[in-house]
Amino acid sequence: MVTIADVARHAGVAPSTVSYVLTGKRSISPQTRSKVRESIRLLGYHPHAGARALASSRTNVVALVLPLRPGVHLPALMRFVTAAATTARKHEMDVLLMTADEGAQGLRRVAGSAQVDGFLMMDVELDDDRVPLLRQLPQPSVLIGRPAAVAGLTCVDLDFEAAGGRCVDHLADLGHRYIGFLGAPSVVYQRNTGSAQRAMAGFGAAAMRRGIASTALPADDDYESVLHSVRALLRAQPAMTALVVHNEAALGWVAGSLRVLGRRVPEDMAVVGICPDDLAEQLQLTSVQLPAEELGHQAVELLVARLNGQPVPPLTLLAPKLIGRASTAPRPRG
């Protein structure tokens, strides 16, 4: 069966360009239009009921809303972007990346232009001002993350409360009784970003449940800031023998900061991160996996299901998975 993707490859254009030629939703140059129509004729392509984008006059474009704001760690986010774009291509769709911090106004502008079929939204805050508009837009949306209330939305997220708690349980089972938490940059907490707030809340709740003495502090993504925060944690809790880190940008500085402060990993200080597997393997770090690729993939699949009129759950939560590596060991004696 010949698909739009086959026509696009033959004509040397994007699948969305083929769609625009067939639907007339955008102006295409005469040369490109002629090339596409010739490929359609040679390949014998015929629009059919399975070509849902044509039948519904779609643009075959989804918008990925990712505002580049202070405290956002771009290398981490690009994992989500790559997974979403790769999955979208399998559905013969393109991704429009929206990086300006325009809030609801930016969503309204793009939605009003009718140039996208739906929205994927990242960096979700607990009280996100974009959410009320998403509930009203004619285009469907999927959030990678979740606000405080998910009614009327479609969200996919790691269970960050459970992730924070899983880190504590792992360390408590190793005998650690004084555990610190090194979190995201302070500006991320000031924005009330859901993942950061939930991971810290899950850490605190698990520490109380296990009878663990705990202290939590934010950290910026440079060596001096990480060293300052780790030093402050040790001053607040001199008996601390374990550390949970939910700050991917800071992870590379943690072991060096501890070494400067006279703590070896894992002999004197066990360290657990909440981060992607490839970074954890590189640092030989015990970690709760941040499944960026799976979240990006599932977000697109949920959006496609909504575009096709299929029912989807309001919230899909991925359970945390902890993988033990060389950075954790039983609590040192004494």
Say if 326 falls within a structural domain: no
pLDDT in tens, 231-270: 999 999 999 999 999 999 999 999 999 999 999 999 999 9
- pLDDT for residue 54: 44
Tell whether 270 and 178 lie within a shared domain.
yes
What's the whole-number average pLDDT of the chain? 90
Which of 37-46, 249-258, 286-295 has the lowest average pLDDT? 37-46
Q: What number of residues does the chain have?
A: 334
Are the C-beta atoms of residues 255 and 282 closer than 8 Å to each other? no
- pLDDT for residue 13: 86
Tell whether 23 and 102 lie within a shared domain.
no
Are the C-beta atoms of residues 189 and 198 closer than 8 Å to each other? no
Other C-beta atoms lying within 10 Å of the C-beta of residue 274: 28
Tell whether 49 and 69 lie within a shared domain.
no
Q: 264, exposed or middle or buried, with CB in 10 Å at 0-12, 13-18, 19+?
A: exposed
Say if 324 falls within a structural domain: no
Tell whether 147 and 231 lie within a shared domain.
no
Tell whether 51 and 167 lie within a shared domain.
no
Residue type, 25: K
Nearest partner of 134 among 148, 120, 116, judged by Cα: 120
Domain extent at residue 170: 160-289
Residue 24 banded pLDDT, cuts 50, 70, 90: low
pLDDT in tens, 131-168: 999 988 889 999 999 999 999 999 999 999 999 999 99
- pLDDT for residue 5: 74
- pLDDT at residue 1 is higher than 80: no
Other C-beta atoms lying within 10 Å of the C-beta of residue 178: 18
Say if 330 falls within a structural domain: no
- pLDDT at residue 173 is higher than 80: yes
Say if 213 falls within a structural domain: yes
- pLDDT for residue 60: 87
Say if 133 falls within a structural domain: yes
34-45 burial code (b ≥16 CB/10 A, e <16): ebbeebbeeeeb
SS3 73: coil
Q: Which structure tokens are listed for 239?
A: 């008996």
Tell whether 134 and 202 lie within a shared domain.
no
Tell whether 16 and 93 lie within a shared domain.
no
Tell whether 108 and 77 lie within a shared domain.
yes
- pLDDT at residue 219 is higher than 80: yes
Q: H-type helices in the chain, by residue range?
A: 4-11, 15-23, 30-43, 52-55, 74-90, 103-112, 131-134, 160-173, 186-190, 194-210, 223-236, 251-260, 277-283, 292-307
Tell whether 149 and 298 lie within a shared domain.
yes
Residue 51 banded pLDDT, cuts 50, 70, 90: very low
Q: Cα–Cα distance between 204 and 208 in angstroms, integer?
A: 6
Torsion angle, alpha carbons of 127, 129, 135, 139, to 10 = -130
Say if 258 falls within a structural domain: yes
Say if 169 falls within a structural domain: yes
Tell whether 312 and 271 lie within a shared domain.
no
pLDDT in tens, 192-208: 999 999 999 999 999 99
pTM over 0.75: yes
Which of 23-27, 160-164, 188-192, 205-209 has the lowest average pLDDT? 23-27
Are the C-beta atoms of residues 17 and 37 closer than 8 Å to each other? no
> Average pLDDT, stretch 106-120?
84
pLDDT in tens, 55-92: 456 788 999 999 888 888 888 889 999 999 999 999 98
Residue with the bigger pLDDT between 204 and 16: it is 204
Tell whether 260 and 182 lie within a shared domain.
yes
3-state helix, strand, coil in the chain (%, to 5): 45, 15, 40
Query: How many domains does the chain contain in total?
Result: 3
- pLDDT at residue 191 is higher than 70: yes
Q: Which of 55, 77, 94 is the last residue of a domain?
A: 55
- pLDDT for residue 103: 84
Say if 119 falls within a structural domain: yes
Tell whether 275 and 165 lie within a shared domain.
yes
Which of 67-81, 222-236, 307-321 has the lowest average pLDDT? 67-81
- CATH of residue 39's domain is 1.10.260.40
- pLDDT for residue 334: 61
Q: 328, exposed or middle or buried, with CB in 10 Å at 0-12, 13-18, 19+?
A: buried
- CATH of residue 84's domain is 3.40.50.2300
Torsion angle, alpha carbons of 219, 203, 279, 241, to 10 = 80
